[in-house]
């Protein structure tokens, strides 16, 4: 099969990968969506939708589905990875084995890598090579709203300005706005830490603590994002933008967020296992809490909200006790970092 310069392959047929594939296809790009499960891929190709994640979103004619990863790499110059962070390295390794010179790689996955605490651009540099043209897509997005064509804005970050501009142009339409940035680190940190803080906001709401508490958690949570992001090399202005504050507010305040829903369930008395079972999808904040805490400790960055979320998830700390311990911290001046 010949490669088309205007085509793009999306790797990962979950809700977000499917929504981005539909968006890109609607915007005029020939799109190949890779699905790991061959039976699921065949069903989606025949039914022309993703019945599990986005059943009410029909596929455009220019969107095709395959379970052949090598084929998905071959047919496009642009490659976009949208898989959970715990499987990111393995998928990128498989892609790297089929890549050729001149292809460009982007990802819309959020999170630190499990067990290593690496940001995903560092994983790509290890797996492929440091001179690869790369970009990351992040921001305040729910897949179902993007699939419905509701107004949305994201950030496309890359050290390669031409790639950022090209990818943003592909995504951009009347209801989807894509801004560009050069701050890959800041965009990646914002997209990861917000999941942990959304669990905290959900716990507080599940305990019935109200809007005042939620606003305080979001505000102080942003400080934690900035502390860690700056320590890792991100830019302060990034954390006040879509990939920082924007994504944090969205994830902490709306029940479409799986991380917030997990916190709500635990605040209302459910165990972690019960909360995960009720959601029945990957909840990135659970693993992120472990990785963010580890990176913060390594960098000597104070992140008290993250620490309490970790204790609730992994040390069986009662949610009410976690909130009490946050409120009992020593009085101090408010600082932004």
Return the number of other C-beta atoms located less than 10 Å from residue 307's C-beta. Answer: 19
Give the integer Cα–Cα distance in Å for 286 and 126.
25
Asked if residue 99 lies in contact with residue 127, where contact means CB atoms within 8 angstroms, the answer is no
* Rounded Cα distance, 139 and 124, in Å: 20
Q: State CA 326 to chain mean position distance.
A: 27
Q: Which of 139, 144, 136, 149 is nearest to 176 (CA)?
A: 149
Active site residues: 194
Copy the structure tokens of residue 33.
């969506």
Q: 261-286 in b/e burial notation, b at 16+ Cβ within 10 A? A: bbbbbbbeebebeebbeeeeebbbbb
- Tokens 């997209």 belong to 191
DSSP-based three-state secondary structure for 170 = helix
Q: Beta strand 104-107 with 76-81: parallel, antiparallel or unpaired?
A: parallel
Q: What is the 3-state secondary structure (H, E, C) of 282-332?
A: CCHHHHHHHHHHHHHHHHCCCCHHHHHHHHHHHCCCCHHHHHHHHHCCCCC
Return all residues near 15 (Cβ < 8 A) that are at least 6 apart: 50, 53, 54, 143, 144, 281
């Amino acid at each position: 099969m010949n490669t088309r310069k205007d085509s793009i392959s999306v790797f990962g047929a979950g809700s977000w990968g499917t929504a981005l594939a539909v968006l890109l296809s609607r915007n005029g790009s020939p799109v190949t969506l890779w699905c790991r499960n061959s039976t699921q891929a065949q069903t989606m190709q025949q039914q022309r939708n993703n019945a599990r994640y986005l059943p009410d979103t029909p596929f455009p004619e220019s969107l095709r589905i395959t379970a052949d990863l090598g084929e998905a790499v071959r047919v496009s110059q642009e490659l976009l990875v949208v898989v959970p962070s715990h499987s990111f390295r393995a998928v990128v390794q498989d892609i790297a084995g089929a890549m050729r010179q001149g292809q460009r790689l982007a990802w819309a996955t959020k999170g630190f890598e499990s067990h290593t605490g690496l940001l995903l651009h560092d994983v790509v540099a290890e797996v492929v090579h440091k001179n690869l043209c790369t970009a990351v897509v992040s921001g305040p997005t729910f897949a179902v709203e993007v699939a419905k064509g509701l107004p949305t804005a994201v950030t496309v970050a890359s050290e390669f300005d031409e790639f950022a501009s090209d990818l943003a142009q592909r995504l951009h339409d009347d209801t989807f706005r894509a801004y560009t940035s050069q701050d890959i680190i800041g965009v990646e940190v914002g997209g990861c830490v917000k999941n942990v803080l959304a669990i905290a906001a959900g716990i507080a709401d599940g305990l019935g603590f109200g809007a005042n508490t939620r606003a305080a958690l979001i505000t102080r949570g942003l400080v934690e994002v900035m502390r860690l992001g700056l320590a890792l090399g991100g830019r302060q202005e990034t954390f006040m933008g879509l990939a920082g504050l924007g994504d944090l507010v969205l994830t902490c305040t709306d029940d479409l967020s799986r991380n917030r829903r997990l916190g709500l369930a635990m605040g209302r008395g459910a165990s972690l296992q019960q909360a995960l079972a009720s959601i029945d999808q990957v909840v990135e904040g659970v693993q992120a809490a472990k990785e963010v805490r580890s990176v913060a400790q390594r960098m000597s960055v104070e992140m008290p909200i993250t620490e309490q979320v970790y204790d609730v998830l992994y040390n069986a700390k009662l949610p009410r006790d976690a909130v009490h311990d946050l409120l009992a911290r020593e009085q101090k001046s408010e600082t932004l970092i």
